A and B are shown apart, each in its own frame.
Chain A
């Protein structure tokens, strides 16, 4: 029997949730219709630090339709220990507790919630709430705060302390070639297109169903249970569609706290959505200063790396990132040292944003590397190859795989790098200066314990389920393809379910571990179903499969097929009927160490990329256009080349934002972000995006994760801004060490 080409891992199929998204039928958190809904509108603190003296709600309460104004004075009981507010990220410190007391810890802190029958009434009434404050001196100026930088005593989980080697101070002092400088990244806000919102359905038995914008339904479920004293059974959290997050939804955000608080207090269903302005009140990528000193021989061989960085955190939590480790891991250099510290400002706690730590540390480091290449008069790509380390140079461990060399090769070829002229300001196109730059990207290949279930019904329909999230990452499609691959069913016969705290346990979606982890769990669950199917087939009269074990069969077109005699095929339905089964359901857990992963236990696990950028700069106006990007990515096995490419495109576009546009400006007198809207916080738009080419380098790696998948959510952004900055230098001869590279810095 001729079979259609099998669709499975590696097939470039359309996103399985695509139709819902293009028809507007996908419902996001604030879009669930609920009878008798109340709307909440957040009132924010106008000062950065101090306390609330009084709140005058009279005018707000007089607005028709307003039912309550909730503040710290009249809120119901909530938990008081720090521990109760801790989430999966376990950031050391004392997590922010909304409406807890009269203390103001940051500007735009939520201090009241106006509840009304309509959104408009709530919004209007919120503008009438009068708050009197007693202000204290604040500091939001990071450049001042670094004067009191420190190494936090308690480290955040996942933090990797840098390991020094050799004598970097001496080697730098002795180096014939030296480069050193301070490199800066401003605060950036995630700004997913969907604003943070929650719809809470209040049920008569005191249970709640929460539609939340989050990267982890079970994280929010646990948080709400511990903060409000619900039993977990009474809290169900759903997030089947998430309109982007980029890290801002890793921790429960305050709108879900406020919505549940109101629902509990009023015993009604509630919706609370932040405004775009209020989206700047919480998570942001920490501001960073990185001091980098490099020493090299005249041949371009690195002899010293000194890498020091400080990032911003709040007064109440020590948010840490892995900023300084990347360059030490990636480059072969006998002497290296590094130090990482944080400094406190009076803002909300900074947060993970796409490739936290690496997008900052590796990107800025790659600008310094470019400077050293010029200093040594070596082509920047050649410089990276001279100092190439096949092993993790900081930890001294081999990688499970590192096809960065191949990435450089394939990327350079696609870009036409060999045609580059070495000198800065040596390439032109009409009145525009042309520049070509390159950089390396690097991220962790992670894996996290995850469970999934698979349910096959006799009509041949398979449902796979896992409480993971799809924040645009393609998780639905990944789960579908892995299931199709494992059980040999066409994707149309498979439903993937996710985004529901009732489903098998999964960690928060982030760090690029989603596809590797939920994919492995789905594969295990489907394999378990396969075993049951084979057993059921044994009940068929005449036993067509004989004594076949699971290794003797494969699953194809809804049939169990004998490997050695492919004409012997037992349809799933026949097997299930013979065993009197209407369905087979299995749940499995994929934990680290499973499969061939044990072989990689003591190895380093990373994704790499080689990014090439072309810019054109109008010298008179200082306008920069990124006309071409080639990003060659080595990230193990690619489950769906179509959605995978989109993930890299998305990372590259955000990297362009980092290079040219994105910066949140505080007004230090007010201690407040000033450009809290899309008119003034600039992100790349259609007109900014020209040609972006994505290449996936072949990199088989059975040791990194069970499916050989390394993850793609972050790697696209890491180093992109460096490639662009380096291209700008090549075009203009102007070295800009602080991102974003705006027109003023070019004309300066």
Chain B
């Protein structure tokens, strides 16, 4: 686990905090969280889990996608204090260098990214899609991944990668 660097600073601001118990990548902890902090900012600034990206902060790009209780969600649209008891998985929880998740390997093999900024969100979203069990065909994957923008235009490679993993699990 990366070390948390800014939690202390967060707690120091006297606007009031709410004790909130979150399980993040398997680790359960109760944190004092300010009500105006989104899950995305908590992860990035408070927990140093920077794999979750901020592309818009408005629920319009999908870069911040994480899994909450196995469902994909835009973490920029969730205030962290509303998630008491939730089980959150970020890209860091899916796999790590040396121990890649099948989606992470497939993304590497299909060159399913260029700059890599949308990538953790794409991968978490793809895992959510697989959990939903709805997408089987290329058209369905394309349609149901459309909340995740990729300005580098790696879309066709992303779909190839996702289909690979869906195929393996089918």
Residues in A lying within 8 Å of B, measured CB to CB: 14-15, 17-28, 30-31, 33-37, 64-65, 117-121, 124, 191-195, 241-244, 246, 273, 275-276, 471-474, 642-643, 645-647, 649-654, 677-679, 683-689, 691-692
Contacts and interface: CB of A to CB of B under 8 A. Distances in A.
Nearest to A689: B155
A22 B107 contact: yes
A730 to B, nearest CB: 24
A25 B99 CA distance: 13
B30 interface: no
Interface in B25-59: 34, 36-37, 41, 44-45, 48-58
A27 B50 CA distance: 7
A24 B6 contact: no
26 contacts: A14-B108, A14-B109, A15-B113, A18-B113, A19-B104, A20-B97, A21-B119, A22-B108, A24-B120, A28-B117, A37-B6, A65-B14, A118-B34, A193-B115, A193-B117, A195-B55, A244-B117, A643-B111, A650-B154, A654-B151, A678-B55, A678-B149, A679-B58, A679-B60, A684-B153, A685-B146
A291 B73 CA distance: 48
B169 interface: no
Looking at A21, A34, A246, A689, which has the most chain B CB atoms within 10 Å of its CB?
A: A21
A678 B104 CA distance: 26
B153 A15 contact: no
A234 B119 CA distance: 34
B156 A689 contact: yes
Contact of B149 (A64, A193, A643): A193
A65 B149 CA distance: 34
A506 B123 CA distance: 33
A22 B51 CA distance: 9
A191 B158 contact: no
Contacts of B56: 195, 276, 677-678
A194 B117 contact: yes
A472 B149 contact: no
Nearest to A246: B151
Nearest to A66: B13
Contact of B100 (A22, A192, A241, A243): A22
B170 interface: no
Interface in B111-170: 111, 113-120, 123, 141-143, 145-159
Contacts of A19: 97, 100, 104, 108
A35 B54 contact: no
Contact of A24 (B90, B114, B145): B90
A679 B117 CA distance: 19
Contacts of B145: 686
B22 interface: no
Closest 10 CB pairs of A and B: A24-B51, A653-B153, A243-B117, A21-B116, A472-B115, A472-B114, A650-B153, A678-B60, A24-B91, A31-B50
A617 B61 CA distance: 27
Contact of A15 (B5, B63, B111): B111
Contacts of A654: 151, 153
How large, as a class, is the contact surface on chain B?
Answer: 35 or more
A120 B37 contact: yes
Query: Of residues B36, B90, B151, B155, which shows the largest number of chain A Cβ atoms within 10 Å of its Cβ?
Result: B151
B19 interface: no
Given A23-B95, A686-B148, A687-B143, 12 more contacts: A22-B107, A119-B45, A193-B63, A241-B116, A242-B115, A243-B115, A642-B111, A677-B56, A685-B146, A687-B142, A689-B142, A689-B156
A692 B48 CA distance: 38
B129 to A, nearest CB: 11
A650 B152 contact: yes
Contacts of A473: 114
A215 to B, nearest CB: 11
B97 A31 contact: no
Given A24-B90, A683-B149, A686-B145, A64 B116 contact: no
A172 to B, nearest CB: 38
A211 to B, nearest CB: 12
A495 to B, nearest CB: 15
A30 B105 CA distance: 26
Interface centre among B3, B114, B118 (most CB of A within 10 A): B114
B50 to A, nearest CB: 4
Interface string B92-104: 1001110010011
Contacts of A645: 111
Given A19-B108, A472-B115, A120 B60 contact: no
Contacts of B142: 686-687, 689
Contacts of B148: 686
Which of B13, B52, B95, B109 has the largest number of chain A CB atoms within 10 A? B13
A646 B108 CA distance: 12
Given A64-B13, A118-B9, A121-B13, A22 B155 contact: no
Interface in B62-112: 63, 90-92, 95-97, 100, 103-105, 107-109, 111
Contacts of A28: 50, 53, 117
B12 interface: yes
A175 to B, nearest CB: 40
Interface string B2-28: 110110011011110000000000000
B122 to A, nearest CB: 9
A23 B115 contact: no
A677 to B, nearest CB: 6
Contacts of B116: 17, 20-22, 26, 241, 243, 472
Contacts of B151: 191-193, 244, 246, 654, 683
Contacts of B51: 23-25
Contact of A194 (B45, B55, B90, B100): B55
B5 A34 contact: yes
Given A118-B9, A121-B15, A276-B58, A193 B114 contact: no
Given A19-B108, A677-B58, A192 B13 contact: no
B21 to A, nearest CB: 21
A557 B149 CA distance: 42
Contacts of A25: 51, 92, 96-97
Contacts of B14: 64-65
